[in-house]
Structure 1
Amino acid sequence: MKIKELTTEKEWQEAYKVMCQLRTHLDEAAYIDLVKEAVKVERYHLIAIYKEGEIIAVAGFKPMITLYYGRFVWVCDLVTDKQKRSKGYGEHLLSYIHQWAERYQFESVALSSGLQRYSTHRFYEEKMDYTKVSFVFRKKI
């Protein structure tokens, strides 16, 4: 098992088969376009766990600065292939992100999770020691 940052369009395409399990609303072309723009404009990073040459889990994150959190890293995406869940891959990816944040002197790591994802919430709170600090609201324009 190895964690690698994905930096090419070919690597992003390889990650789509796992990412689409989380981002079901995106076809591959829209996904690639958004990753390209996010990398260029938002300093988005896409990482993956490879096992036996195959991507089995991916995470996307970006550094941010707000008055509320200060300098922090936002985890935009985190998903493990549905056939390989509950084997610690999400923990490995988040740990990598925590180390990245510490290396670049960010103060914290934050993320949001869908209201219906109760087992995921337990994972963040009990296994990864995250604290629930707010609700995220959205209005479509």
Structure 2
Amino acid sequence: MANSHIFEARSEADIRRCHAVMHELRPHLAEEPFVQQVLRQQEQGFRLAALEAEGSVRAVTGFRLQEMLAHGRILYVDDLVTAEKERSSGWGEQLFQWLLQQAREGGCAHLQLDSGSWRHGAHRFYFRQGMHISSYHFTMPC
């Protein structure tokens, strides 16, 4: 595995660098709307981070630290995706472990995420990381 590093994407240029990988998970977001939405969400505490190796972004995550009555302080993962051609290379696990460290450093009691019910490969990954299904997430259009 090549040397890698994880960085937080705060500038428009760094956010743009994350788009191609995030687009695999969120194909409805073209580059410019993605950049603008990330910038808006950052004002609300959203953080975007990427794992880079050999000058190329291999995995991306969007997350936030928040507090909930039911769980106390948590790190909530909005998005976690590894470029399709890079899956099973260990990049996702490295980024997941980095998120876990961010949660610990942030005083969080839990790391939480939702995953689409059809994303079986992602579920296998989360189970390997030691996660478990703790609840159902219900939704409806309004």
Structure 1 counterpart of 2:6: 3
Separation in structure 1 between the aligned mates of residue 43 and residue 27 of structure 2, nearest angstrom: 23
1:36-83 CA-to-partner distances (Å, cap 9, x unmatched) read 111012x11111111111111101100111111111010001111111
Structure 1 counterpart of 2:132: 131
Q: Which runs of 4+ in 1 moved over 6 A?
A: none
**Equivalent residue letter for 2:27:** T
Separation in structure 2 between the aligned mates of residue 38 and residue 76 of structure 1, nearest angstrom: 11
Separation in structure 1 between the aligned mates of residue 119 and residue 29 of structure 2, nearest angstrom: 20
Contact 2:62/2:80, CA 8 A, preserved across alignment: yes
What secondary structure, in the 3-state scheme, does the structure 2 residue paired with 1:20 have?
helix
Q: CA deviation at 1:140?
A: 2.1
The equivalences for 1:74-93 within 5 A come to 74-93=76-95
Separation in structure 2 between the aligned mates of residue 103 and residue 73 of structure 1, nearest angstrom: 10
The equivalences for 1:1-141 within 5 A come to 1-41=4-44, 43-125=45-127, 127-141=128-142
Q: CA deviation at 1:119?
A: 2.0
Separation in structure 1 between the aligned mates of residue 75 and residue 28 of structure 2, nearest angstrom: 24
Separation in structure 2 between the aligned mates of residue 21 and residue 45 of structure 1, nearest angstrom: 19
Separation in structure 1 between the aligned mates of residue 24 and residue 34 of structure 2, nearest angstrom: 12
TM-score (norm: length of structure 2): 0.94
User: What is the aligned-residue identity percentage?
Assistant: 32
Gaps of 5+ in 2: none
Contact 2:65/2:106, CA 8 A, preserved across alignment: no
What secondary structure, in the 3-state scheme, does the structure 1 residue paired with 2:107 have?
coil
What secondary structure, in the 3-state scheme, does the structure 1 residue paired with 2:6 have?
strand
| CA root-mean-square deviation | 1.0
Aligned residues: 139
What secondary structure, in the 3-state scheme, does the structure 2 residue paired with 1:138 have?
coil
TM-score (norm: length of structure 1): 0.94
Q: CA deviation at 1:2?
A: 0.9
Q: CA deviation at 1:112?
A: 0.7
